[in-house]
Amino acid sequence: MRFLYCGDVLGKSGRDALSTHLPTLRQELGLDFVVACGENAAHGFGITAAICDSMFDIGVDVITIGNHAWDQREIITYISTEPRLLRPLNYPSETPGQGMGFYQTQQGKRIIVIQVMCRLFMDALDDPFRALDDCLRRYPLREAADAIIVDVHGEASSEKAALAHMADGRVSLVVGSHSHVPTADSRIMPGGTGFQTDAGMCGPYDSVIGMKKGPATSRFITKMPTERLEPAEGEGTLCGVFVETNDQTGLTERISPVRVGGILRAARPV
């Protein structure tokens, strides 16, 4: 099975990069399934129902969110009725929406998608390690699904790596989101799980992690509040991770970074 995980979609530039490049990538790579993190899609802060629908229309199968989950209040109602939109699994159980979902490809392959949110330098949520471990015990790879994708939303690379090692051999892919910078460590772990610390973002890299340079830089220089941060403009890069799994084991046989468009050096699977 072949699938693509697209990093944090930021503002209009990120949405344009996704809509421009994803249909072509889906065809060229023979993708069976696409997951994208959409937590910054609405002008950098959260996501709306209309943006979700537009992402589904261009070929995204599942959207994850994260610490900006509720920035757009309308999504609270929408997520309760849209199973293709996931918030972190380790939110309190009373939180609207769900942190994992069961899906099928057009060929009938079963896929589980899970998102957990880290706690280092992030909100104090429930333990992501316990939440993920409990979920994988209930729904083991191959028995419950032909592939399992885990989106780890967090700041600290150490916490993301630790979660990946805990899940190694139990899922197809662990991929990080949130930092907006694509890491160069895509690899297959000893147990067969594909891993990349962060997929990067779908957005403009002539920026401060997607935001206009002036106001963002002034905050660091002056240590004073500035005008509201706004998404940068210009051509965005679609950053993601491509994975091909073994149909018998559900584990990763090939993993490759994907970078298309914008100012970053291009990368795509050979």
Q: Domain segments of the chain: what residues? A: 2-260
Q: Domain 2-260: which topology?
A: Purple Acid Phosphatase; chain A, domain 2 (3.60.21)
Which pLDDT value is given to residue 51?
A: 98
Catalytic residue check, 178: no
Note whether 199 and 238 are within 8 A (CB).
Answer: no
Which pLDDT value is given to residue 124?
A: 87
**Helix, strand, coil distribution of the chain in percent, nearest 5:** 25, 30, 50
Catalytic residue (one of 68, 153, 178, 180): 68
Q: Compute the distance between CA of residue 204 and CA of residue 12 in angstroms, rounded to an integer.
A: 10
The phi-psi region of residue 157 (left if phi > 0; otherwise alpha if psi is between -120 and 50; otherwise beta) is alpha
- Cβ–Cβ contacts within 10 Å for residue 206, how many? 14
Strands, E assignment, 209-269: 238-245, 252-260
pLDDT averages per 10-residue partition of the chain, 270 residues: 98 97 97 97 95 98 94 95 97 94 96 97 93 98 98 97 98 97 98 98 95 89 84 96 98 98 94
What's the pTM?
Answer: 0.95
Q: At 158, is the secondary structure helix, strand, or coil?
A: helix
Which pLDDT value is given to residue 36?
A: 98
b or e along 182-191 (b: 16 or more beta carbons within 10 Å of the residue's beta carbon)?
bbeebebbee
- Which residues, other chains included, contact 157 with Cβ-Cβ below 8 Å and sequence gap of 6+? 176, 183, 197, 198
C-alpha dist (Å) from residue 184 to 13, 166, 255: 23, 21, 12
Which pLDDT value is given to residue 228?
A: 83
